[in-house]
């Protein structure tokens, strides 16, 4: 079931998606907050654990989309910590 979700990080609109099991009912995660967590070095695997799949349970962040476009799905999934922070900085500087 698709439903209107509220971001449980910033309280903003998190779009109309399926509920993810690891979020309270009615809550999801907006793209800005996903990008913010990536900039802090969190991995896409962590984002998925917490907030689900882009386009299914939450909107895809702009930075997230750019990372996947630049590194491919597997390459982007391998980024975490310093490597993720550096990749995010590089994209923001482009
Ligand atoms: Zn948010």
Q: Residue 17 is part of which domain span?
A: 2-93
Q: What is the pLDDT along the chain (94 residues), one digit of tens a residue?
A: 899 999 999 999 999 999 999 999 999 999 999 999 999 999 999 999 999 999 999 999 999 999 999 999 999 999 999 999 999 999 999 8
What are the angstrom distances between the C-alpha of 80 and each of 8, 15, 27, 29?
Answer: 22, 26, 25, 19
State the distance from the centre of ligand 1 to the C-alpha of 17, rounded, in angstroms. Answer: 14
Q: How many domains is the chain partitioned into structurally?
A: 1
The model's pTM: 0.94
pLDDT at 1: 85
State the distance from the centre of ligand 1 to the C-alpha of 36, rounded, in angstroms. Answer: 9
State the distance from the centre of ligand 1 to the C-alpha of 20, rounded, in angstroms. Answer: 15
């Amino acid at each position: 079931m698709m439903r209107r979700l509220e971001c449980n990080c910033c309280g903003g609109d998190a779009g109309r998606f399926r509920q993810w099991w690891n979020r309270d009912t009615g809550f999801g995660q907006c793209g800005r907050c996903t990008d913010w967590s990536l900039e802090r070095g969190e991995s896409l695997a962590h984002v998925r654990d917490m907030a689900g799949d882009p386009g299914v349970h939450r909107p895809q962040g702009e930075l997230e989309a750019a990372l996947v476009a630049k590194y491919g799905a597997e390459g982007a999934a391998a980024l975490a910590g310093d490597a993720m922070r550096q990749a995010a900085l590089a994209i923001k500087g482009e």
